[in-house]
Amino acid sequence: MRKKKSLSPMDIVGPEAMEIHFQEEIMKDILSKLPVRSLLRFRCVSKFWKTLISDHYFNLKHLNYAKNDQDSQKFLICQTDPILSFYSCPFQQTEDVHKLDCSLNYTPLGCKIYSCCDGLVFLIASDGLNAQYLLWNPSTRESILLPRPEFLMRGCMCGLAYDAASDGYKILKIDGNVVNRQVSNEILVLKSGSWKRIGKPSIRPIIPMLSGVASGRDCLAFVHGAFHWLGLSQYYTIFSFDISNEVYGEIPLLERMCNLFKIKYLKYEISVLGGLLCFHSTTNYQGEGTFKLWVMTDYGVKESWTNLYTIRDIDLLSARPKYKFADGELLLSFRYLNRRSLGPIFRTSKGSYFGLWPQCGYSQEGFAYIESLISPKLLT
């Protein structure tokens, strides 16, 4: 019996169709490396281009490239004086500053940015009486209103992250009120469009506020599929919450790191730099401030905590790392005792000022974000 010849894709669809398919894949590969600003203009070229650039899988391809592209890393800042304004610039070209639009149906008095993930920004805008919870893409200017949580946001920490297990985005709200056990921690699954209560651990969360200023210090740090924040039980520790399994965990600090909490006028925070969990603190003694940055080089291993940076400066009130450049240099925001009522000053770890930000009006903390095409409107 003659053996049947197996069919190749070329036999099934024909060489012309395969050629068109390959040309389209090459086009997608080229377009995925272009900035969002250019792609938004290209959507107007034709219906085909609009469909291609709006495709969900193309957006993911573009995002995956942007995560490793230095030119796609941007810095977002919120200026509140004289009016609420948003500005953005590339880390590699700080003079290229752009004012951004964020669609609001009223003029807010203030705004608080909680978290950035995959080019999406979770923020709350308020006019003093009403608050709007927004998910905003500053690159495409698209935004959606989010449902309100059951409990007030006052005294809370929040974070936005992507859950690979469920292929969706989630927002976690950790309540700082340990006295009232009726107030629950909550999580918003964007696909479901509603908040749900989750149990509280016995550990007390530490909400590091800075003189009532919305400084970004109540933002949860996300790494290794979990949110992280400082907690206190019998000792100081880092608490975690896995967003896939919705399970709490704990990561220990070194004893000499715990001893820092005995120092008066201590500012502290958990953050993420270069994919590594960080702990940083600022103390001020007789007018001289000292900033220390610790990095956990092997996630979950207590002994891997390493003191990476120590910076001393006169009148330093607090410092916060914002971004790590490819050469290892850091961008930090500094607040000083002699300008406590003003916003932060942005400088690198080598001391040079960053871009145009020092001469802006009053501003909140800046945030690093990735330029992306991910549409908030398609996530709910």
User: Per the domain annotation, does 3 fall within a domain?
Assistant: no
User: Per the domain annotation, does 5 fall within a domain?
Assistant: no
pLDDT on residue 214: 34
pLDDT on residue 23: 77
pLDDT on residue 209: 41
pLDDT on residue 58: 95
Q: Same domain, yes or no, for 237 and 142?
A: yes
pLDDT on residue 8: 44
Mean pLDDT of 35-50: 92
Measured distance CA(323)–CA(187) in Å, rounded:
27
Q: Residue 29 belongs to what domain range?
A: 15-54
Range in 96-105, 128-137, 276-285, 357-366 with the lowest mean pLDDT = 357-366
Question: In whole angstroms, what separates CA 286 from the centre of its chain?
Answer: 34
Q: Same domain, yes or no, for 159 and 36?
A: no
Q: What is the 8-class DSSP label of residue 121? A: E
Provide the pLDDT confidence category of residue 68 given band limits of 50, 70 and 90: very high
User: Per the domain annotation, does 261 fall within a domain?
Assistant: yes
Q: How far is CA 271 from CA 142, 212, 225, 255, in A?
A: 27, 20, 14, 19
Give me the amino acid identity at 190. L
If one counts every other C-beta atom within 10 angstroms of the C-beta of residue 209, the result is: 14
68 contact partners, CB below 8 Å, separation of at least 6: none
Provide the pLDDT confidence category of residue 310 given band limits of 50, 70 and 90: very high
pLDDT on residue 341: 59
| Greater model confidence, 215 or 266 | 266
| Greater model confidence, 366 or 181 | 366
Q: Residue 366 belongs to a domain with what CATH number?
A: 2.120.10.80
Provide the pLDDT confidence category of residue 10 given band limits of 50, 70 and 90: very low
pLDDT on residue 180: 53
Provide the pLDDT confidence category of residue 35 given band limits of 50, 70 and 90: very high
pLDDT on residue 75: 94
Q: What does the chain come to in residues?
A: 380
User: Per the domain annotation, does 9 fall within a domain?
Assistant: no
Q: Is the peptide bond before 82 cis (omega within 30 degrees of 0)?
A: yes
pLDDT on residue 182: 54
User: Per the domain annotation, does 358 fall within a domain?
Assistant: yes
Residue 189 clears pLDDT 60, i.e. is over it? yes
Q: Same domain, yes or no, for 121 and 46?
A: no
7 contact partners, CB below 8 Å, separation of at least 6: none
Q: Work out the burial of residue 49: count CB atoms within 10 Å of its CB; fewer than 13 is exposed, 13-18 middle, 19 or more buried.
A: middle
Nearest partner of 317 among 352, 361, 268, 357, judged by Cα: 268
User: Per the domain annotation, does 296 fall within a domain?
Assistant: yes
Question: Which residues on neighbouring strands pair with residue 250, listed in sequence order?
Answer: 239
Mean pLDDT of 61-84: 89
Mean pLDDT of 260-276: 87
Q: Same domain, yes or no, for 41 and 146?
A: no
Range in 7-21, 75-89, 235-249 with the lowest mean pLDDT = 7-21
Q: Same domain, yes or no, for 318 and 344?
A: yes
| Greater model confidence, 343 or 16 | 343
Q: How far is CA 243 from CA 46, 105, 170, 282, in A?
A: 40, 32, 8, 30
Q: What is the pTM of this model?
A: 0.87
Residue 140 clears pLDDT 90, i.e. is over it? yes
Measured distance CA(9)–CA(40) in Å, rounded:
34
Q: Same domain, yes or no, for 126 and 29?
A: no
Q: Same domain, yes or no, for 37 and 158?
A: no
Computed over every residue of the chain, the mean pLDDT equals 83
Q: Same domain, yes or no, for 174 and 210?
A: yes
Q: Same domain, yes or no, for 263 and 145?
A: yes
User: Per the domain annotation, does 60 fall within a domain?
Assistant: no
Q: Same domain, yes or no, for 49 and 105?
A: no
Mean pLDDT of 217-235: 85
User: Per the domain annotation, does 8 fall within a domain?
Assistant: no
Annotate 227-289 with DSSP letters as a single string.
Answer: EEEEEESSSEEEEEEETTTTEEEEEPPPHHHHGGGGSTT-EEEEEEETTEEEEEEEEEETTEE
Residue 15 clears pLDDT 70, i.e. is over it? no
Q: Quote the tokens at residue 275.
A: 């994919």
Measured distance CA(343)–CA(285) in Å, rounded:
22
Tally of domains within the chain: 2
pLDDT digits (tens, 9 = 90+) for 143-178: 999 999 987 767 788 999 999 999 999 999 987 665
Q: Same domain, yes or no, for 77 and 197?
A: yes
Q: Same domain, yes or no, for 285 and 330?
A: yes
pLDDT on residue 86: 87
Give me the amino acid identity at 29. D
Q: How far is CA 68 from CA 60, 64, 93, 274, 368, in A?
A: 13, 7, 17, 11, 14
